[in-house]
Structure formats: C-alpha cells, structure tokens
Structure 1
C-alpha cells in the first residue's frame, strides 16, 4: 500500500483529493497538512511514499517546500496538484523532481492515470535491482500513453487530434474558426469543428461567439492560458 500525504490548505479540496485517492487501488491517505512547517514536522515523525502537493497556500509556497525537502535529502516522491499553470512553476517543480504535475481543475481520469503510472514506477523500483531499456522507456512515456487512451472521447483519434493541434499552432493568430482549421489541416469543416469543441471541453481551447454585420454569430477559438500544457496529456 502506497502511503500518501496530502498537502493542501483548503480542507474541502483536501477532502476531494482524498476521495479521489480512495478510488484508486493501492493507495491510502495517511495524513493531511496545510503548511510547509507542518509537512516537515510530519515527515520527521512518519514515513510516507508520496506527497500530493499544492503550490499556492496561504502560509507557504509549495515549490519552496519541495526545494527544502530535496535540500534535506528526504526520499519521498511528489505529484504537484496546483492551479499554477505558468511555465516557470511547472519547470521548477520538474527540476525539483516532481514525478507528475496536474493543473487544477483536472479530470479524475488524469488523476487516476498519474497515480497508476506512479504505482507502476514504484513497483518496478521495489521489485527489480536493474531496469532494461524497454522498462525505462515505459516509465518515461506512461503519462502520454495512459491519459490519451483513457481521456479521448469516443470517436476521437490521437492521429487526427495531432493534425488538428498542428493546424491550430500553424494558424499563428489569436482567434480561429473551424473553417480556418479545416483549410490548414485538410480535414472537413464538420470534423474540425467537432475536435475544436472537444479541445474546448478538455480546457485546451476557449470559445467565443463573434457577431458579424450580418448572419449568425461565428464560433471562434483561441488557446487557453494552460492549453499548451494540457494538450501534452492527449497527444
């Protein structure tokens, strides 16, 4: 059983994370802390395998806590769960050894994929003295494979999604329509529109209705602030 410490200063969010955790086999919530000092005290008194770490806390900064944990040489893994979607926070968390990074709000399937991937990593490290290249490669790409297979809606394929995303980036404009993406990608306007709606539901895109001088309003899309991070979970 993997022992988990939940670090979150909002009791309701902490309870939600605990509830999600209980839905994944092999994990048990062993404690809750709401500040960096509380975490360090608990790590000195108890043994945990994994921390679910928020960055924004009233009395503490999760990245500073993660840095201090590494400075002290504490052997514990960390999955960051935070509303922070800026590249600096994400990069810093990964540099300090976070094994995964979930941006709030997240889908349960993404949470489950992160935990199942970590469980597989934990199992290999506990049961084997050495890893071969294929096992190591599996660990390095599990997030992409698991989340894409679990989270893509029925009727969506990764290959088409990749084509649509390349067209989105190739548009090189703030707002774009299904017709714009269809013209760049070569995919029909109806299919392009379906994928753009799907990307909006995933949080990758934002949609606005643009009213012209005549006719019905046109659905226009743009990449959300965290879109380029979120899309990596699907393609």
Structure 2
C-alpha cells in the first residue's frame, strides 16, 4: 500500500482510513486509487474488523481528481478502467464501490472540499457525517465528464433522480446544510471525525453478525422485489439465530452486562 497516500489506524475493532495528501487537498492520483483499493481489500477480509471510518487529512476530505498526475497519457487511463476478472467495478469505480461491498459499516467524515471523485468516494460509505461548512459537488461536468467512480449507483438510493441530474449537469457546490436536506449526507457535526469514530465504536460493541447482516440485507433488499427482500431477510435471520454472538447479545441484555462478542459467523 502507498502509505504516503492512505494510512490505516486501528482502534480496536475500528479502522480509520485517512487520505494523506493534505498538501494536495487529498486529490486522487493513480497511487491513491491503488492505495484505496488495497485498503478496501485488506479490511474487507479482516474478520476482527467491525467498522471503518473514512477521513481526509488537512483542510479537506478530498478535492477530487489530481488532473496533473494524469499527464502520463493513455496507459494511466487504461489502468483506471481495468477490472479484475469476475468484478463489475473497474479500479476507478472501486475507490467508491469497494466500501459499499465491505461487509462492515463504513462511515465517511467530511470537511472542507468534497469534490468530484472525493464525493463519489464518500458516497460509497454507508453513512456520511459532514461539517455544516463542508462543500460538496458532482464536479465532473466542469471537465466535460460524467460521474464515473460508481456515483450512478451510490447516488440513486440517496437523492431523487431529478436532484442527481441537476447536480451532475450544473456541477454546483452544495454547502453541508443543503447537502443534508438533499440526502447527500446523513447528519452534520462540528467535528465529523470525532462523531464518526464515536459512532463506529458504538457499532463495534454490537453483535458483528447482526451488523454485517443488516448491511447485506439493506444493500440487496432495498431495490429488489418485495418477495426477494422478504426471502433474504428470513434467510439472513436464520443464519444468525442461535449462534454464539446472538446468544451473547441476549445474555448480556438480560444481565445488563457488556457483551463479549467473538468473530462473525460468516
């Protein structure tokens, strides 16, 4: 992993993943795409992990693509558009989509500029906590482009189609307060990183089977036909019922104790 691009700090069962190019407002260059992909793959395979926080060092979460770093020409773009066998998302799309596929909750802490690819990265998280003065934009139109880092998929569950089109066509900058009203962010906080870590640590104290199951359920059942969603709901619940972590949740709840959960069952 490119440690100068992305750092990972473990806090017990929580991982804080930080974009670490503050001098560039954490703009995305080819090395950052590689580092984000490596981080997501590593954390997704970690059975001890229970929550992830995405953050940006310095004055901004992420100001978008570092255009100057793509002067290498066609080879660089072909790399970003490449995909591994069996995967739907290419390398550029995985910067956002990989966090949607991560089996544990992912919370983005947003401040400063959250532009273009930076917003698409944040949209890949399950929750977004933003400063009121954060500035968000689907900025690709300014460069004659469409959102191409999984934004078409992550936006559709958050905002109306006409809102997504207006933002994509205009490229206008949306302040945190408006972003909350539109559905781009989950809630506002003066210190979004502290809030995100506190929430992640609270989630990490819940049964990892139920937490992972809820993410899988809502990721798949939200858009599918009702009968498929109901079937998945029942299937996932049957996999959890009677397992060690579910029984520990019941025991601790009845006794008023702090539960001691083990690894997830799946």
TM-score normalised to structure 2 length = 0.29
Rg (Cα) greater in structure: 1
Greater length-normalized contact order (CA 8 Å, ≥ 6 residues apart): 2
TM-score normalised to structure 1 length = 0.32
Structure with the higher fraction of residues in helix conformation: 1
